[in-house]
Chains A and B, each alone.
Chain A
């Protein structure tokens, strides 16, 4: 193919599609796409961690839960404004990520994966059992609509626009990060750690920064989720969510900028169309991403990009 869309053109098309969607898609489809946006936010952050820094977290569902619970508790129990609660929720979750990541990321190997899995188990246990604070299995109902300076996002459609605004901002930010000095260090790190270190990259610091950033993305999505549904419940953030996130990354294309976005939108529709088969969602997403690892190692976006470049299947990734 001779013509390739530039990033600017692609992003403009994306923005146009996002703005136009509610006018053609209808209310229920808009709600689904809003959820897709939320998943995309988490996936964009996770992609920076896995795809660029080569580290794995199995606990980003827990950071979503932290964001959602912090927003829910601060606005409902303590009457904070949604914006202040959201800032506190994301900052607090970033701090938790730092406390977990700083010691663990000094160690080589995939200990972070195991520790974050254990962390997620703890968060889910505590969130459903610590009834006085989290409402236990009932959760926290009556989370107020999100509002900024008196403007309330009081319909699902307004929330859709807010969520996708945040998604696109964070998406563009991920472009900037990957192209920055920090991003180059990050990619060097993912490609060959010892080489990166010998060229003067502060390997540990880089990893910690990216882990904290990705946790902040997840907490922000969790906080938006609480305001979107006006309700928080621990079961929203169980292991299935993490499995869906991994499927999004692998199917979309790990280490590609557009992968998480494309994967999130594709899979939110898969998830939605399961309907009464929701019980099988873990199985389906597990098979989907296991299969993609084997047969579509570059993911949908990586595959398309390779075809457009005409490099066929010679390129390897993952």
Chain B
């Protein structure tokens, strides 16, 4: 059994990278709005499914299909904010209304995909272009390497964005204190729209690099949301470094529990751990970017 461990660890890290991307997406929206985005996992599903459709059904070459899939998912993310969140925001709706609304989005999107594309899992070929890497006794496939490199690239790109660009700093200011940010002339509504667009972009990128490894289908989003949320909780909501650690913890935990406990109850184990964590460390192992703040969001 123990000689399985390296393989499980590597697998866990690769899955964990996706959960980390998801956790960062959840954190972005949480920081600007105080809302937990229940539709985050759907962006991963959409990115994968749309790319698979553009490649398989429409017949675009893979790079074009990927760009198209990601772009369409970002459009969906922006529309979600514009059509469903902003009207609630403007009428000063109570905070549970947003959670209900995002859950409605998370219900409707997969069902639309099911109607349009069907229930079958879809996938597309691995990107290629990178070698498979031998790590001791374990082989890291070329696509798995893509997943890890893209995750690292996303992390540093976001960090640069928040630290170096005016727009990024404005988003960060909004996250820290919405009211003061508005007084300083930051267009808070646009920052919220940006956070949804970025979250959808992250989800789509995650879905695109991840789908060739397994496949994706219309109902893959809910467990992605829950796993991403678990990673975000461990890492402290909105804390990017924490999200990476949280993603890796959940990924490795899941990979090991699936192998040693039961493949059937794999998700159940993660959820049980998530619950345990929330009981013991409700604010995660790392500090959240912002302490839980004004309740009137």
Q: A residues bordering B, Cβ < 8 Å?
A: 50, 54-56, 58, 100, 103-104, 106-111, 113-115, 117-119, 121-122, 125-126, 129, 190, 192-194, 239, 243, 246, 250, 280, 282-283, 285-287, 289-290, 293-294, 297, 316, 318
B220-236 at interface with A (beta carbon < 8 Å):
222-223, 226, 229, 233
Establish whether residues A293 and B279, one from each chain, have CB atoms under 8 Å apart when the complex forms.
no
Chain A hits for B229, CB < 8 A: 114
Known: A54-B96, A111-B278. A121 touches B101 (CB 8 A): no
Establish whether residues B278 and A110, one from each chain, have CB atoms under 8 Å apart when the complex forms.
no
Chain B hits for A318, CB < 8 A: 93-94, 97
CA distance A113 to B264 in the complex (A): 24
Q: B residues bordering A, Cβ < 8 Å?
A: 34, 36, 38, 84, 87-88, 91-97, 99-101, 103-105, 107-108, 111-112, 115, 222-223, 226, 229, 233, 264-265, 267-268, 271-272, 274-275, 278-279, 282-283, 292, 295
Give the contacting residue for B97; candidates A106, A282, A293; CB below 8 A: A293
Q: Whole-angstrom distance from the CB of A47 to the nearest CB of chain B?
A: 12
Q: What are the 9 closest A-B residue pairs judged by CB atoms, nearest first?
A: A290-B104, A286-B107, A118-B271, A283-B111, A103-B279, A107-B282, A286-B108, A122-B268, A108-B292
Establish whether residues A287 and B108, one from each chain, have CB atoms under 8 Å apart when the complex forms.
yes
Establish whether residues A118 and B275, one from each chain, have CB atoms under 8 Å apart when the complex forms.
yes
Chain B hits for A293, CB < 8 A: 88, 93, 97, 100-101, 104
Q: Whole-angstrom distance from the CB of B112 to the nearest CB of chain A?
A: 7
Establish whether residues B272 and A122, one from each chain, have CB atoms under 8 Å apart when the complex forms.
yes
Chain A hits for B93, CB < 8 A: 293, 297, 318
Give 7 CB contacts A-B under 8 Å. A104-B278, A115-B278, A118-B226, A125-B267, A190-B94, A280-B115, A297-B97
Interface of chain B, helix or strand or loop or mixed?
A: helix
Give the contacting residue for B107; candidates A106, A119, A192, A282; CB below 8 A: A282
Q: Which residue of A lies closest to B97 (CB)?
A: A318
Chain B hits for A125, CB < 8 A: 264-265, 267-268
Q: Whole-angstrom distance from the CB of B118 to the nearest CB of chain A?
A: 12
Give the contacting residue for A58; candidates B103, B105, B112, B265; CB below 8 A: B103
Give the contacting residue for A283; candidates B112, B233, B295; CB below 8 A: B112
Total of A-B residue pairs, C-beta within 8 Å = 120
CA distance A250 to B103 in the complex (A): 13
Q: Which residue of A lies closest to B291 (CB)?
A: A108
CA distance A233 to B223 in the complex (A): 22
Known: A115-B278, A286-B108. A110 touches B95 (CB 8 A): yes
CA distance A294 to B84 in the complex (A): 7
Give the contacting residue for B87; candidates A107, A114, A294; CB below 8 A: A294
Chain B hits for A286, CB < 8 A: 104, 107-108, 111
Establish whether residues B295 and A290, one from each chain, have CB atoms under 8 Å apart when the complex forms.
no
Give the contacting residue for B96; candidates A55, A104, A280, A285; CB below 8 A: A55
Establish whether residues B36 and A113, one from each chain, have CB atoms under 8 Å apart when the complex forms.
yes
Establish whether residues A115 and B223, one from each chain, have CB atoms under 8 Å apart when the complex forms.
no
CA distance A275 to B92 in the complex (A): 38
Establish whether residues B36 and A290, one from each chain, have CB atoms under 8 Å apart when the complex forms.
no
Give the contacting residue for B271; candidates A108, A121, A283; CB below 8 A: A121
Known: A56-B96, A121-B268, A126-B268. A283 touches B103 (CB 8 A): no
Chain B hits for A121, CB < 8 A: 222-223, 226, 267-268, 271
CA distance A3 to B97 in the complex (A): 33
Chain A hits for B88, CB < 8 A: 293-294
CA distance A118 to B278 in the complex (A): 12
Known: A108-B295, A286-B111. A114 touches B36 (CB 8 A): yes
Establish whether residues A250 and B275, one from each chain, have CB atoms under 8 Å apart when the complex forms.
no
Give the contacting residue for A316; candidates B84, B92, B112, B233; CB below 8 A: B92
With most chain A CB atoms within 10 A of its CB, the pick from B107, B233, B278 is B107
CA distance A109 to B238 in the complex (A): 14
CA distance A279 to B76 in the complex (A): 24
Known: A104-B279, A286-B104, A318-B94. A118 touches B274 (CB 8 A): yes
Q: Whole-angstrom distance from the CB of A84 to the nearest CB of chain B?
A: 30
Establish whether residues B275 and A109, one from each chain, have CB atoms under 8 Å apart when the complex forms.
no
CA distance A318 to B87 in the complex (A): 12
Known: A104-B279, A110-B96, A118-B275. A289 touches B226 (CB 8 A): no
CA distance A87 to B170 in the complex (A): 56
Establish whether residues B278 and A109, one from each chain, have CB atoms under 8 Å apart when the complex forms.
no
Known: A290-B105, A294-B84, A318-B93. A194 touches B268 (CB 8 A): no
Give the contacting residue for A246; candidates B95, B100, B111, B115; CB below 8 A: B100
Known: A121-B267, A283-B107. 15 other contacts (CB 8 A): A56-B96, A103-B279, A103-B282, A108-B292, A113-B38, A121-B268, A122-B271, A125-B264, A129-B264, A239-B222, A250-B100, A286-B108, A290-B84, A293-B104, A318-B97
Chain B hits for A280, CB < 8 A: 111, 115
Q: Whole-angstrom distance from the CB of A57 to the nearest CB of chain B?
A: 11
Q: Which residue of B lies closest to A290 (CB)?
A: B104
